[in-house]
Amino acid sequence: MAQSLIETTWMGEDVSIAQIERELARLRAESSEEGAQPNLRTSVMTHIAWAPPEWQGAAEETLAGMAERHPSRTLLLVPRPDEPDGVDAEVSMRCYPVGDRAICGEVIQLTLRGNRSRAPASIVLPLLISDLPVFVRWRGRPVWESPEFVQLIGVVDRLIVDSTEWPDLPGSYQELAELFSKVVVSDIAWERTERWRSLLASLWPGIRDVRAIRVHGTAAQAYLLAGWLRSRLGQPVTLELDERERLEGIELDGQPASFPPGAPPNASDVLSAQLDRFSRDRIYEEAVRATS
Amino acid sequence: MTTTEAPPNPLLEGLTLRRRPDPCLLVIFGASGDLTSKKLMPALYSLALRRLLPDKFGIVGAARSEESDDAFRERMKQAVKDHARDPFKDEIWDELAAGMRYVTLDFADDKGEDALAEKLKELDEERGTLGNRVYYFAVPPSAIGTLVDEIAARRSAEGWVRLVIEKPFGHDLESARELNAKLQESFAENEVYRIDHYLGKETVQNMLALRFANGIFEPIWNRQFIDHVQITVAESIGIEGRAGYYEQAGAIRDIFQNHLLQLVAITAMEPPIDFTADSVRNEKLKVLKSMHTPGPKHVVRGQYGPGFVEGVEVRGYREEEGVAQGSMTETFVAAKLFVDNWRWADTPFYVRMGKRLARRETTIAIQFKRAPHPPFAHTADEDLRPNTLLIHVQPNEGISLAIGAKVPGQGMTIRTVHMDFLYGGAFREGLPDAYERLILDAMLGDATLFTRSDEIEEQWELVDAIVSFWRRDRISFPNYPAGTWGPSAADELMQRDGRSWRSH
C-alpha cells in the first residue's frame, strides 16, 4: 500500500554524469533530518526505462506504482534526437517511511538531446549500480537495428517490452525472436495472459485436440496465446482475432472458455512481476516463435 | 479393456502456479477465543483476498458459548475489520462468510460432537469439500484428548484429516508424551501439525535463506569465528488478562519451551539435504538433542514488579488481576545454553525472554570474535567492537551487520556502523502474517514449519530439567522493575564470562 512519499529533487540543464552523482549524494545526505538516523538507500536493481516523448507520461505513471515495491535506481531516458546536443537531468530521491527510518530510491530522468540520444549506453554505464541486475523497459516497438537499442541491450540483463504497444504484429515477433540468444526478454503482454493460460491449462486433457482459438483481446495477446497453444500442444491451431482493448474472452473450437478468477493485474503489478524474474522464459520464447 | 492415462499436461510448463489446497472444511475449536478473532480469522480473510484458499471451502467455529451462525459471522466480520492487515472488502468477506457455520460444543460432552459431525456433513454436500478436514485446536491441552477421540470415532473413509494443535503442547514431558500418544493412537504423525507460529514468520524462514543461500556466512558459522550467540525474545506487554494460563505456564513454558528453542535450533542446525519437512526437522532435532541441560548457575529467572513502560506506570506481576499475591511464577528467563556438537562446542548461546521488558523485540545476534590484532595506535580496545550479525525477527524485520569503520578526518578513529537490510525496504509486498503461511501449509499438507513429536519431547525434557532445580532454590520475587531489561542476575550471567548483553 502506498505510504507518504518524501521527495527531494534537483534539476539541471546540460549536465555531466559527475554533476548527477554529486547531486545524488547531496540529496541523500539532506533527505534525513540532522541528528536523525540516516535514510537507507535500498536498491535491488537498476531499472532503465527508454521512453520516447510520446511514452513519457505512461512510463512515469507505471514507475510511480512500482518504485515502492522495487526500490531501485531508475534511469528514465527520454530521447529527443531533433533538439540541440546535450543532457538535461531531473534527479529525485523518493523516500518511504519504514519504522523509524526511511527507505530511499533514486529516479534520474535524463533528456538525451541531439547526438547524445544516439549513445545512451555510454551515459547509462557510469550510473549503473554495481553487482545488481539491470533491466531495461523499452516503450513502444524497438527499432531493432538502431544503435541506441543495440547498445542498451548490450549492457542490460533483461529487456522488458510490451508487444501490445507494437503496430505490426505478428511480423515483429520474428525479429524479437532473433534477440533471444543475446538478451533475456520478457513481455508484459505475455504476463497479462498468465491468468488465461492457467485457466486453459486446467482444461487438460480436454483441450488436447483443440484446433482453433478465437480471442477477444489485443492482437499481442491473441498471437501469443495461439503461439503458446501451438508450441505446447505440438499441433497447428488456427487463430481468429476479435480485437479489443483488453483480453475479454476466449473460445476454443467455438466453445467459450470460462473467465479466470480474480481481477486483472494493473500495469505496475505486471511490470513488478517481470522484475522478480531473472532467467530466460523458454515457454515464452517458443510461443513467440510459433506466433506465425 | 485397457485404459490409457492422459499424458503429462504440457500447458502447465512454465506457469507459476499458486499453491492452492484441495477443497476442505476448517473446524476451529475455541472459536470464541482471542486467537480466533485476532489471528485466525484475519489470516483466513487475507488468504481469501489473495485467492489462496481452496475453491470449495468452509469454516465451522466450535466453542462452548451459545451463538447462532449469523452472530458468529457478525463477530468474525468485526474481528477482520479490527485486526486484518488488508483493507476490508465486502465481496471477499461475503464469499468467505457464506461457508461459515457455528456449533455450540461442550468439549467434555460427545453430544456436541454429533451436532458438529452433522453440520460438517451438510456443509460437505453444500460446498463440495469431499470430506477433507482441517481441525484447528485453539483450546487448552486438557480439552484436546476428548476432541481427538471424538474426531477419530467419527472419521469417515472419505477425504483427509489434519489436526493443527496450538501451543502449549502439554505442560511437561510426561503430559506431552501422553498427548503425543493419544494423537498417535488414531492419527499418523503426518496428520498432526503442532504449531509454533514463530516458524511461520518470514524473518525466521529468512534465517534459513541467509545461512543456506549465501556462500559467505556458512564457512564462518561455527565455533572458530563466532564468539557467542544472543537471542532475545522481549515483550513490553504484561499478561494481558491471561493470568489463568500464565500462572501455570510462566515464561519458561510460554516462550522458552517453544519459540526460543526453535530459534536456537534454526540458528544452530546443519544444512538440511533438502527443504522437505523431515529433512529440516531431522536437523533441528539433532540440535535439540545435543543441547546440555544448563546448571542452576546458568539459568536466571525473574518476575516483574511495578515500573514504567513507555512512560506509563504499570503494575507488578503480583498485582495483575487473577495472579496470586505470593505468586512464584517467572515472567523472565535468561540462560546460557550449549549445543554440544562439532560445530558449536564451547560456544555459548545466551538467551533471554520475558514480559514487561524495555521494549518489544525479537532478535538473534551472532557475535563474531574480535579482530586478533588491531594495528591502530591510540585506539582503545573498546572502540574496536566485534562484528555482530543481527537478525531482527520483529519488529522492523531485517538484518544488520555491525562493522568497524574509520571516522573521517585526521588520525585513525574507528567507530561501529551498521549496514542494514530492512525487509520492508527491499521487498514492499507486505509480510504475510505467520498464521496465513501456517494455515495454508496445513491445508496443503506441508509440515516443514511445524514441530514434530520428537522435537516437542526434547524441548520438554530440557524445560523439565530446569524447572526441577527451581523447586529446590528460594528466590525473592519480584526482582526486576517493569520496563527494564530484567534482573541484575541476568547481566551477571554474562559478565561472569566477560561479556555483556547487546546494548540497545
Q: Look at residue B503 and tell me whether its pLDDT is greater than 80.
A: no
Q: Is residue A233 part of a domain?
A: yes
Query: Best-predicted range by mean pLDDT among A139-148, B341-350, B363-372?
Result: B341-350
pLDDT of residue B414: 76
B277 by Cβ neighbours in 10 Å (0-12 / 13-18 / 19+) ranks as: middle
Same domain, A15 and A137: yes
Residue-averaged pLDDT of chain B:
88
What average pLDDT does the segment A35-49 reach?
Answer: 70
Q: B39-74 burial, b if ≥16 CB within 10 A, otherwise e? A: bbbbbbbbbbbeebbbebbbbbbbbbeebeeeebbe
Cβ count within 10 A of residue B193: 26
Domain region containing A195: 191-262+282-289
Cβ contact B272:B280 at 8 Å: yes
Distance between CA atoms of residues B491 and B501, nearest Å: 7
C-alpha cell at B61: 467455529
Q: Is the model's pLDDT at A227 over the cut of 80?
A: yes
Let me know whether A144 and A197 are in one domain.
no
Shortest Cα distance, chain B CAs vs residue A201, angstroms: 5
> B456: buried, middle or exposed (CB in 10 Å: 19+, 13-18, 0-12)?
buried
Answer yes or no: are the C-beta atoms of B23 and B130 closer than 8 Å. yes
A99 touches chain B (CB under 8 A): yes
For A91, B216, B306, B485, the CA distances from B478, given in Å and listed in that order, are: 58, 45, 9, 14
> What is residue B5's predicted lDDT score, i.e. its pLDDT?
58
- Which backbone phi and psi does B38 adopt, to 5 degrees? -90, -30
- Residue A146 falls inside a structural domain: yes
Burial class (CB in 10 A: 0-12, 13-18, 19+), B375: exposed
Report the distance separating Cα B343 and Cα B271, nearest Å: 12
What confidence score (pLDDT) does residue B108 get? 65
Q: Which residue in A239, B217, B30 sits closest to B39, CA to CA?
A: B30
Sign of CA dihedral A251, A252, A254, A260: negative
Contact between B257 and B248 under an 8 Å Cβ cutoff? The reply is no
A32 and A118 part of one domain? yes
Confidence of residue B424 (pLDDT cuts 50, 70, 90): low
Contact B9 A204 (CB under 8 A): yes
Q: What is the mean pLDDT of chain A?
A: 84
CA distance B425 to chain A (A): 6
Give B-chain residues touching A197 at CB under 8 angstroms: 11, 15
Residue A103 is nearest to which of B13, B17, B422, comparing CB atoms? B422
Contact A204 B428 (CB under 8 A): no
Q: Which residues of B touch A282 (CB under 8 A)?
A: 14
Distance CA A153, CA A132 (A): 16
The DSSP code sequence of A159-180 is: EEE-GGG-SSTTHHHHHHHTTT
Crossing angle of the two packed helices B261-268 and B202-212, in degrees rounded to 10: 20
- Distances in Å between the alpha carbon of B425 and those of A72, B352, B400, B431? 10, 28, 13, 12
- Give the residue from chain B lying closest to A285, CA to CA: B14
Lowest-pLDDT choice from A152-156, B104-108, B495-499: B104-108
Check whether residue A99 and residue A230 sit in a common domain.
no
Confirm whether A167 is domain-assigned. no
Residue A99 within any structural domain of the chain: yes
Nearest to B425 among A40, A100, A233 (CB): A40
Co-location of A196 and A123 in the same domain: no
* Torsion over CA: B53, B94, A257, B15 (sign): negative
Looking at residue A203, which CATH number applies to its domain? Answer: 3.40.30
Percent of chain B topping pLDDT 70: 93
What domain count does chain A have?
2
- Please report which confidence band the pLDDT of residue B440 belongs to, taking 50, 70 and 90 as the band edges: very high
CA distance B267 to B212: 11
Q: How confident is the model at residue B1 (pLDDT cuts 50, 70, 90)?
A: very low
How confident is the model over B133-191, as pLDDT tens digits?
A: 999 999 888 888 888 988 888 888 788 999 999 988 989 999 999 999 999 999 999 99
Provide the phi-psi class of A204: left if phi over 0, else alpha when psi is between -120 and 50, else beta. Answer: beta
Structural domains of chain B, with CATH: 20-166 (3.40.50.720), 199-495 (3.30.360.10)
Q: Do A201 and A131 belong to one domain?
A: no
Measured CA to CA, the distance from residue B181 to residue B186 in angstroms comes to 9
Confidence band for A2, pLDDT divided at 50, 70 and 90: very low
Instruction: Tell me if A83 sits within 8 A of A9, measured CB to CB.
Output: no
Q: Residue B419: how many CB atoms within 10 A of its CB?
A: 12
pLDDT tens profile B43-88 = 999 999 888 899 899 999 999 889 999 999 999 999 999 999 889 9
Q: Is residue A257 part of a domain?
A: yes
pLDDT of residue A265: 74
Q: Do A140 and A203 have their domain in common?
A: no
Q: Is B504 a catalytic residue?
A: no
Closest residue, chain B, to A284 (C-alpha): B14
Does A239 fall in a domain? yes
Could you give the CA distance from residue A8 to residue A5 in angstroms, rounded to a whole number? Answer: 10
Same structural domain, A65 and A148? yes
Quick check: B14 pLDDT over 70? yes
pLDDT at residue A118, rounded to an integer: 83
A40/B17 touch (CB, cutoff 8 Å), yes or no: no
Task: Give residue A23's pLDDT band: very low, low, confident or very high (50, 70, 90).
Answer: confident
Hey, of B359, B428, B429, B431, which one would you mutate to test binding to chain A, going by the most A CBs within 10 A of its CB?
A: B428
User: If DSSP states are collapsed to H, E and C, what string results for B34-83?
Assistant: HHHHHHHHHHHHHHHHCCCCCCCEEEEEEECCCCCHHHHHHHHHHHHHHH
The string of pLDDT tens digits covering residues B116-127 is 888 899 999 999
- The verdict on A258 and A142 lying in the same domain is no
E strands along B115-221, which residues? 133-137, 161-165, 192-194
Are A101 and A220 in a shared domain? no
B7 vs A contacts (CB less than 8 Å)? 205
Which position has the higher pLDDT, B111 or B340? B340
Q: Which residue of A has its CA nearest to B425?
A: A103
Query: Of A130, A156, A182, which closes a domain?
Result: A156
How near does any CA of chain A get to the CA of B413, in Å?
20
| A180 part of a folded domain | no
Residues of A in contact with B424 (CB under 8 A): 98-99, 103
pLDDT, mean of residues B306-330: 91
Residue A165 falls inside a structural domain = no
Statement to judge: residues A71 and A12 lie in one domain: yes
In degrees rounded to 5, what are phi and psi of residue B63?
-160, 175
pLDDT at residue B318, rounded to an integer: 96
Of B434 and B378, which is predicted with more confidence?
A: B434
Interval A143-153 mean pLDDT: 89
**With the CA atoms of B314, B320, B321 and B324 taken in that order, what torsion angle do they form, in degrees rounded to the nearest 10?**
-160
Residue A194 has its nearest CB partner, among B9, B12, B15, at B15
pLDDT given for residue A66 in this prediction: 63
Closest approach of A40 to chain B, Cα-based (Å): 8
Proportion of chain B above pLDDT 90, given as a percent? 56
Give the three cell numbers for residue A39.
535514510
Query: Which residues in chain B are contacts of A234 at CB distance < 8 A?
Result: 10
Same domain for A131 and A243, yes or no, is no
Q: How confident is the model at residue B270 (pLDDT cuts 50, 70, 90)?
A: very high
Q: How far is B47 from chain A (nearest CA, A)?
A: 13
Out of B171, B197, B228, B259, pick the active-site residue: B259
Question: What's the rounded Cα separation, in Å, for the pair B422 and A40?
Answer: 9
> Does the distance separating the beta carbons of B426 and A71 come in below 8 Å?
yes
Q: Show residues of chain A in contact with B12, CB under 8 Å.
A: 201, 204
Q: Give the percent of chain A with pLDDT over 90.
A: 37
For residue A1, what pLDDT band results from cuts at 50, 70 and 90? Answer: very low
Name the DSSP class of B253: I
Helix (H) or strand (E) holding B480: strand B480-481
- Which pLDDT score is estimated for A69? 65
How, if at all, do strands B332-338 and B348-354 pair? antiparallel
Q: Which residues contact B381 (CB under 8 A, 6 or more apart)?
A: B374
| Among the listed residues B497, B200, B227, B241, the one whose alpha carbon sits nearest the alpha carbon of residue B389 | B227
